[in-house]
């Protein structure tokens, strides 16, 4: 097991270096003068330019600049915003819980609905239930989620007036963040109605963000289940006289989960890409909206740092998924 | 019962009578068994025809602004007008005409992106899978790096680097799509590479290029075609998303995602300006994905038997 | 009264190109403590009829029978829940592919214990004790260590022993072994067969052994039933069957045994293959491959009395000579004489 983990880490390091090279060269690839881009100043004298160039370290050889950058990354220095001058990492840590809360809720929703739906579709293969579930999954899989979000807003916020349009919680409530998770913080605050308010703000973005992972998980679960249900060991389980629930829910599902877990792991990238759109639609103050805003504000230092941090998170999650995979599949564990 | 039994018997007789069913007719036999796939194909063809003949099909010019008819509701709603079936947008342009012209952009984007990413992805994957060793390791690491970013974020940043616009959006989407083709090609090349027929051809003196392109590649095509269909729909979605974020096609281009972005502020007042462009994206993507599922069933020999 | 009694069992599968009849009017009975062998080529429907008894066929299968009873209880009229009380407890089955028949995600101990908990209601400690006992019974060394093993850590022979241990867990009255040795090495084959016969004798259970291997039949069975293309074509006690087969198919199977070949001669084989869904002949199903087939055989076939092995043949063999055959009876009898 330890060797398995070390092997995974060994692959991760070159990827991390590569990602850092891309993030590093991103600023240098931008059309225009990097000094002007990084300082955010439009007009400057040649002296000021030289001074800034030196200050930003842009006058040194490229490889030294890169190693400086890498050194910064290792010590937690991801640069500072051109606009607000605040360190990127500080902003990121402040905004990330909002994205994490939304993504976790979405993936939990997707797993809790997607796996049972896929299992049911596989067990009732060919029935109207199967066709309905798979039809819905295909629609979900083809959904432009930015439009889906707008539709939900039109219906639930505009027409029914049930849910708010943007933000994380009603302005009526204010409390200092403890965990950064609004659902937990609102409970901790003890203010009446705060939790309910946070929930109503969370529900639409969660549905929107969960749509594609839900569809993918349902489809993958169904095909994995169909394959597993035809295996000899399922026949053995049936020959023991076990209940259908036990055969499907334990013997088959446990095996079908092996490919499904890989799929769930791959959804992390999909979730973060989806978060960019979802957060933009619902003005959710997370890293997706932060990145889009920074691109528009030409705050390239933030884009650079954010790219690095987001890629880092994805790599970390992939590692965790690989390890879970090992836990589920005894053939890897031993 | 007898009627049902006699039908397959006839089919069998027919199959025996015609000597060799061509690969195409066999493919169509499996593809047409999937009703969804056929529906998807029909919808896709309709969209294709509409896009090609947009100037003849569209009732109005996509850029003609009718100042006196702003935010006109669809014809079937009260206050609608049958000459503007799906209503007008905030500057009085006919939504239906804009959607029809928009189909051109979406299909064009899909086509360009798939062409670019398939050609580059297959070439790189072929090299990696055929030569293995260090070349393979380097290529796969680079692909891992690209895949370490969420595709839309990477595309967004690339467009920021290259400058907003349709062409740059297509280049960016091709780049983030291409690793999937590299991985897929490499995997199938690696399984084919060691098979007897390749070794046989090698022993017979076939050169490297011939082995790569004439011997191995045609046998890896099935999964690539399926993936290309999926990439086609993904490209349309991604381009629309970039347009929605303001980084794709720029207004007043009637690109569906860009239309949605323009319509966002009228979301509470005029549901139709938001609903129809998104519906157009959904239907197009759904049709292509339905076709993709049918292609997979028809081309995947593992599933054929069941 | 026989333990397992099947009368006129038919199993049909719904396929994309119509109904496929895998088992066609098969009757079968097996007494307590008896070893019955069902022999036939692949595709002869021998596994399917036993899977029908176990209720393990997929939902596409249509099962009809005049009677299908176990221990006097009608399996056809039982609810699935009642049936599951018998399956795995009183009737157990082992399969051809031991490696893929064990669930790769669970330990041997878990898979053994599951049956014990479900049918016997044993507690954790009792389950463990009984599991060790069972593994020892099937000849697995160091059974305590094996309990925590996963299937991929064991060899094929070892897996089949575990499968047998699992099948024996609740002391079944009937064990169905579906080609239990086909996927194993030759040396292991003999060990597993010996084990099965020994356990059958010790526990006094009935054993239905499905095989395509006449050698296996000769070594183990007491009574043999020969199946061809979903039909029972002959049934005899093993000694009589080997001495005087009544159906030409049985005779052909026996003469293709290497042990019976003449030294230096070519090993006889049966030309052609078992008919499938689309090339099913009318009349006798074996007629396209039979050397004695006449026009009558292509139209209809008669069932012979038990004295002639219940052979499904118009011209049953006696001493290798077809009876009442228009052309060959006299000629062959003369040749033999």
A328 Cβ neighbours under 8 A, 6+ residues apart? A254, A257, A258, A261, C105
**Chain C CB contacts of B5 below 8 Å:** 18-19
Tally of helices (H runs) and strands (E runs) in chain C = 13, 13
Q: Per the CB < 8 Å rule, is B286 touching A142?
A: yes
End-to-end Cα spacing for chain A? 7
Judge whether A222 is closer than 8 Å to chain C, CB to CB.
Answer: no
In this prediction, residue B11 carries a pLDDT of: 40
| Helix, strand, coil shares, percent, chain C, to 5 | 40, 20, 40
Candidates B142, B147, B153; nearest CB to A276: B153
What is the per-residue DSSP string for C90-131?
A: TEEEE-S-HHHHS-TTS-HHHHHHHHIIIII---HHHHHHHH
Candidates B150, B268, B282; nearest CB to A144: B282
Q: Are B198 and B129 in contact (CB under 8 A)?
A: no
Q: Are A87 and A74 in contact (CB under 8 A)?
A: no
Cross-strand bridge partners of residue C308: none
Judge whether B207 is closer than 8 Å to chain C, CB to CB.
Answer: no
Best residue in B136, B140, B157, B179 to probe A by mutation, most A CBs within 10 Å?
Answer: B157
**Model confidence band, residue C147 (pLDDT cutoffs 50, 70, 90):** very high
Best residue in C17, C60, C277 to probe B by mutation, most B CBs within 10 Å?
Answer: C17
Tell me the C-alpha distance between B22 and A247, whole Å.
43
**Model confidence band, residue C16 (pLDDT cutoffs 50, 70, 90):** low
Structure tokens at C41: 């080529």
**Chain A CB contacts of C50 below 8 Å:** none
Q: Are A92 and A78 in contact (CB under 8 A)?
A: yes
Give all chains having 3 or more CB-to-CB distances under 8 Å with chain B. Answer: A, C
**Model confidence band, residue B57 (pLDDT cutoffs 50, 70, 90):** confident
Instruction: Note whether residue B245 is domain-resident.
Output: yes
Would you say the C-alpha torsion B177, B179, B185, B188 has a positive or negative sign? Answer: negative
**Residue that has been written with the tokens 């997979």 in this structure:** B296
Q: Are C104 and C150 in contact (CB under 8 A)?
A: yes
Instruction: Note whether residue C48 is domain-resident.
Output: no
Q: C17: closest CA among A272, A310, B236, B10?
A: B10
Instruction: Note whether residue C253 is domain-resident.
Output: yes
Cross-strand bridge partners of residue C207: C35, C175
| Helix, strand, coil shares, percent, chain A, to 5 | 75, 0, 25
Instruction: Note whether residue C31 is domain-resident.
Output: no
pLDDT at B39 over 90: yes
Instruction: Note whether residue B166 is domain-resident.
Output: yes
Question: What whole-number percentage of chain C has pLDDT above 70?
Answer: 98
Residue B21 or residue A48, greater confidence: A48
Structure tokens at A141: 């899989």
**Chain A CB contacts of B157 below 8 Å:** 26, 295, 303, 307
- The DSSP call for residue A252 is I
- Average pLDDT of the segment spanning C262-291: 81
In this prediction, residue A38 carries a pLDDT of: 65
In this prediction, residue A215 carries a pLDDT of: 95
pLDDT at B31 over 70: yes
- Walk along chain A (334 residues) and give the pLDDT tens digit of each residue: 677 778 878 878 888 888 888 888 877 777 666 676 666 666 777 777 787 777 777 777 878 888 888 888 888 888 888 778 889 999 999 999 999 999 999 999 999 999 999 999 999 988 899 999 999 999 999 999 999 999 999 889 888 888 888 888 887 787 787 788 888 888 888 787 888 888 899 999 999 999 999 999 999 999 999 999 989 999 999 999 898 899 999 999 999 998 898 888 888 888 888 999 999 999 999 999 999 999 888 888 888 889 889 988 888 888 888 788 777 777 766 5
- With H, G, I as helix, E, B as strand and everything else as coil, classify residue B64: coil
The enclosing H or E element of B229 equals: helix B221-244
Instruction: Note whether residue B237 is domain-resident.
Output: yes
Instruction: Note whether residue C126 is domain-resident.
Output: no
**Model confidence band, residue C129 (pLDDT cutoffs 50, 70, 90):** very high
Other residues' Cβ atoms within 10 Å of the Cβ of residue B98: 28
Tell me the C-alpha distance between C38 and C28, whole Å.
10
Judge whether A334 is closer than 8 Å to chain C, CB to CB.
Answer: yes
How close, in Å, is residue C139 to chain A by CA atoms?
Answer: 21
In this prediction, residue B17 carries a pLDDT of: 39
The domain A89-328 is placed in CATH, from the list 3.20.20.70, 3.40.50.620, 1.10.3720.10, 3.30.1360.200, at 1.10.3720.10
Structure tokens at A219: 């489809």
Q: Per the CB < 8 Å rule, is B8 touching C17?
A: yes
In this prediction, residue B264 carries a pLDDT of: 85
Split into its structural domains, chain C has a count of 1
Which of the given ranges, A112-121, B31-40, B71-80, B254-263, has the highest pLDDT on average?
A112-121
Nearest CA in chain C to B10: C17
Instruction: Note whether residue B5 is domain-resident.
Output: no
In this prediction, residue B2 carries a pLDDT of: 35
Residue A195 or residue C59, greater confidence: A195
Domain boundary assignment for chain A: 32-77, 89-328
Could you read off the pLDDT of B88-102 as tens digits, one per residue? 888 888 889 999 999
pLDDT at B3 over 70: no
In this prediction, residue B272 carries a pLDDT of: 87
- With H, G, I as helix, E, B as strand and everything else as coil, classify residue B65: coil
pLDDT at C174 over 80: yes
Q: How many CA atoms, within 13 angstroms, populate the side-chain half-sphere of residue B181?
A: 29
pLDDT at B1 over 70: no
Instruction: Note whether residue B141 is domain-resident.
Output: yes
Q: Which long-range contacts (CB under 8 A, 24 or more apart) does A324-330 make?
A: A324/A261, A324/A265, A325/A258, A325/A261, A325/A262, A325/A265, A326/A1, A326/A4, A328/A254, A328/A257, A328/A258, A328/A261, A328/C105, A329/A258, A329/C105, A330/C104, A330/C105, A330/C150, A330/C152
Judge whether B161 is closer than 8 Å to chain A, CB to CB.
Answer: yes
Would you say the C-alpha torsion C192, C197, C200, C203 has a positive or negative sign? Answer: negative
**B30-67 core/surface letters (b: 16 or more CB in 10 A; e: else):** bbeebebbbebbebbeebeebbeebeeebebebeeebe
Split into its structural domains, chain B has a count of 1
**A14-53 core/surface letters (b: 16 or more CB in 10 A; e: else):** ebbebbbebbbebbeebeeebbebbbeeeeeeeeeeeebb
- The distance from CA C178 to its chain's CA centroid, rounded to whole angstroms, is 6
Instruction: Note whether residue C329 is domain-resident.
Output: yes
C147 Cβ neighbours under 8 A, 6+ residues apart? C107, C108, C109, C112, C128, C131, C132, C135
Structure tokens at A143: 């959904």
pLDDT at C82 over 70: yes
Q: B168: closest CA among B158, B177, B178?
A: B158
Could you read off the pLDDT of C319-328 as tens digits, one per residue? 888 888 887 7
Structure tokens at A107: 């993936």
In this prediction, residue A1 carries a pLDDT of: 67
**Chain B CB contacts of C17 below 8 Å:** 8, 11-12
Average pLDDT, chain B: 84
Structure tokens at B230: 């999926």
Strands C231-237 and C67-70: unpaired
- Average pLDDT of the segment spanning C63-70: 91
Give all chains having 3 or more CB-to-CB distances under 8 Å with chain C. Answer: A, B
Q: B164: closest CA among B248, B272, B286?
A: B248
What is the per-residue DSSP string for B33-45?
A: H-HHHHHHHHHHH
Q: Which long-range contacts (CB under 8 A, 24 or more apart) does C65-70 make?
A: C65/C6, C65/C7, C65/C8, C65/C9, C65/C10, C66/C7, C66/C8, C67/C5, C67/C6, C67/C7, C67/C8, C68/C5, C68/C6, C68/C7, C68/C9, C69/C4, C69/C5, C69/C6, C70/C3, C70/C4, C70/C5, C70/C174
Q: Per the CB < 8 Å rule, is B141 touching A15?
A: yes
The Cα-based distances of B29 to A180, B190, C4, C54 in angstroms read: 56, 30, 46, 37
pLDDT at B8 over 60: no
Structure tokens at C7: 């009368």
CATH number at residue B141: 1.10.3720.10
Instruction: Note whether residue B283 is domain-resident.
Output: yes
Among the residue ranges A113-127, B120-134, B201-215, the one predicted with the least confidence is: B201-215
Tell me the C-alpha distance between C213 and C211, whole Å.
5
In this prediction, residue B115 carries a pLDDT of: 94
Domain range for C320 is 249-265+281-335
Q: Per the CB < 8 Å rule, is A295 touching B147?
A: no
The enclosing H or E element of C14 equals: strand C4-15
In this prediction, residue A37 carries a pLDDT of: 66
Tell me the C-alpha distance between B72 and A169, whole Å.
35
- Average pLDDT of the segment spanning C215-224: 88
In this prediction, residue C291 carries a pLDDT of: 85
How close, in Å, is residue B282 to chain A by CA atoms?
Answer: 6
Q: What is the ipTM of this complex?
A: 0.86
Domain range for B116 is 34-56+77-299
Tell me the C-alpha distance between C100 and C163, whole Å.
11
């Amino acid at each position: 097991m330890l060797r398995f983990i070390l092997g995974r880490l060994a692959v991760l390091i070159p990827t991390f270096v590569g990602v850092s090279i891309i993030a590093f060269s991103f600023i240098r690839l931008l059309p225009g003068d990097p000094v002007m881009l990084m300082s955010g100043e439009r007009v400057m004298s040649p002296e000021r330019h030289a001074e800034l160039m030196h200050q930003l370290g842009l006058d040194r050889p490229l490889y030294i600049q890169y190693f400086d950058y890498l050194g910064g990354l290792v010590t937690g220095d991801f640069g500072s915003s051109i606009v607000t001058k605040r360190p990127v990492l500080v902003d990121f840590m402040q905004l990330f819980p909002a994205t994490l809360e939304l993504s976790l809720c979405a993936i939990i929703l997707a797993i809790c609905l997607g796996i049972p739906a896929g299992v049911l579709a596989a067990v009732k293969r060919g029935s109207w239930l199967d066709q309905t579930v798979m039809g819905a999954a295909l629609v979900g899989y083809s959904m432009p989620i930015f439009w889906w979000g707008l539709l939900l807003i039109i219906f639930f916020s505009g027409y029914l007036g049930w849910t708010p349009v943007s933000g994380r919680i009603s302005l009526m409530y204010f409390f200092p963040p403890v965990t950064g998770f609004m659902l937990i913080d609102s409970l901790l605050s003890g203010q009446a109605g705060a939790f309910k308010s946070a929930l109503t703000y969370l529900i639409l973005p969660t549905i929107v963000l969960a749509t594609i992972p839900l569809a993918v998980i349902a489809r993958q679960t169904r095909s994995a289940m169909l394959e597993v249900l035809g295996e000899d060991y399922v026949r053995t389980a049936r020959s023991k006289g076990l209940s259908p629930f036990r055969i499907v829910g334990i013997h088959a599902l446990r095996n079908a989960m092996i490919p499904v877990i890989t799929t769930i792991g791959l959804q992390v990238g999909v979730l973060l890409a989806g978060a960019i759109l979802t957060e933009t639609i619902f003005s959710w103050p997370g890293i997706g909206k932060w990145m889009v805003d920074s691109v528009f504000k030409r705050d390239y230092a933030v884009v650079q740092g954010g790219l690095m941090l987001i890629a880092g998170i994805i790599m970390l999650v992939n590692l965790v998924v690989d390890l879970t995979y090992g836990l589920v599949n005894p053939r890897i564990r031993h | 019962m007898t009627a049902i039994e006699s039908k397959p018997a006839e089919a069998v007789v027919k199959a025996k009578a015609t000597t060799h069913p061509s690969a195409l007719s066999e493919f169509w036999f499996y593809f047409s068994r999937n009703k969804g796939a056929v529906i998807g194909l029909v919808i896709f063809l309709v969209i294709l025809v509409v896009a090609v003949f947009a100037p003849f099909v569209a009732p109005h010019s996509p850029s003609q602004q009718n100042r006196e008819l702003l935010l006109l509701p669809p014809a079937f709603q009260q206050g609608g007008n049958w000459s503007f079936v799906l209503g007008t947008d905030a500057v009085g342009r006919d939504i239906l005409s804009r959607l029809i012209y928009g189909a051109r952009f979406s299909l064009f984007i899909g086509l360009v992106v798939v062409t670019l990413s398939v050609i580059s992805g297959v070439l790189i994957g072929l090299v990696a899978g055929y030569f293995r060793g260090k070349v393979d390791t380097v290529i796969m690491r680079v692909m891992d790096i690209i895949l370490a970013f969420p595709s839309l974020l990477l595309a967004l940043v690339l467009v920021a680097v290259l400058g907003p616009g349709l062409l740059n959006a297509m280049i960016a989407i091709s780049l983030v799509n291409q690793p999937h083709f590299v991985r897929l090609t490499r995997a199938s090349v690696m399984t084919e590479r060691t098979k007897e027929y390749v070794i046989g051809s090698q022993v017979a003196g076939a050169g490297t290029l011939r082995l790569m392109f004439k011997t191995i590649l045609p046998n890896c095509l099935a999964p690539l075609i399926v993936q290309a269909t999926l990439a086609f729909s993904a490209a349309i979605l991604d381009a629309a998303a970039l347009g929605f974020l303001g980084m794709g096609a720029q207004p007043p281009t009637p690109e569906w995602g860009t239309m949605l972005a323009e319509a966002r502020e009228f979301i509470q007042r005029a549901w139709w300006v938001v609903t129809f462009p998104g519906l157009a994206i959904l239907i197009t993507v759904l049709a292509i994905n339905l076709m993709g599922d049918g292609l997979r069933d028809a081309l995947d020999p593992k599933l054929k038997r069941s | 009264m026989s333990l397992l009694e099947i009368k006129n069992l038919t199993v049909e599968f719904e396929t994309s190109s119509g109904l496929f009849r895998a088992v066609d009017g098969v009757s079968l009975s097996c007494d307590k403590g008896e070893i019955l062998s069902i022999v036939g080529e692949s595709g002869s429907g021998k596994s399917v009829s036993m899977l029908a008894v176990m209720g393990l066929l997929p939902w596409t299968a249509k099962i009809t029978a005049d009677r299908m009873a176990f221990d006097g209880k009608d399996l056809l009229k039982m609810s699935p829940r009642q049936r599951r009380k018998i399956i795995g407890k009183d009737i157990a089955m082992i399969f051809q592919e031991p490696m893929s028949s064990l669930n790769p995600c669970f330990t041997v101990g878990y898979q053994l214990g599951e049956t014990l908990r479900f049918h016997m209601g044993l507690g954790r400690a009792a389950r463990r004790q009984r599991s060790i006992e069972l593994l020892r019974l099937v000849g697995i060394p160091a059974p305590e260590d094996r309990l925590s093993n996963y299937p991929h850590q064991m060899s094929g022979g070892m897996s089949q022993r575990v499968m047998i241990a699992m099948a024996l867990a609740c002391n079944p009255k009937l064990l169905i072994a579906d080609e239990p040795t086909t996927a194993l090495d030759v040396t292991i084959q003999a060990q597993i067969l010996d084990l099965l016969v020994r356990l059958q004798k010790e526990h006094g259970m009935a054993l239905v052994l499905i095989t395509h291997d006449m050698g296996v039949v000769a070594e183990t069975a007491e009574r043999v039933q020969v199946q061809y293309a979903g039909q029972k074509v002959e049934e005899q006690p093993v000694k009589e069957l080997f001495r005087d087969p009544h159906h030409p198919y049985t005779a052909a199977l026996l003469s293709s045994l290497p042990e019976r070949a003449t030294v230096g001669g070519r090993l006889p084989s049966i030309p052609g293959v078992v008919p499938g869904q689309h090339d099913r002949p009318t009349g006798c199903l074996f007629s396209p491959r039979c050397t004695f087939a006449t026009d009558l055989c292509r139209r209809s076939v008669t069932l012979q009395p038990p004295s002639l092995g219940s052979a499904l043949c118009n011209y049953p063999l006696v001493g290798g000579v077809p009876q009442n055959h228009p052309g060959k009876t006299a000629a062959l009898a003369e040749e033999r004489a």
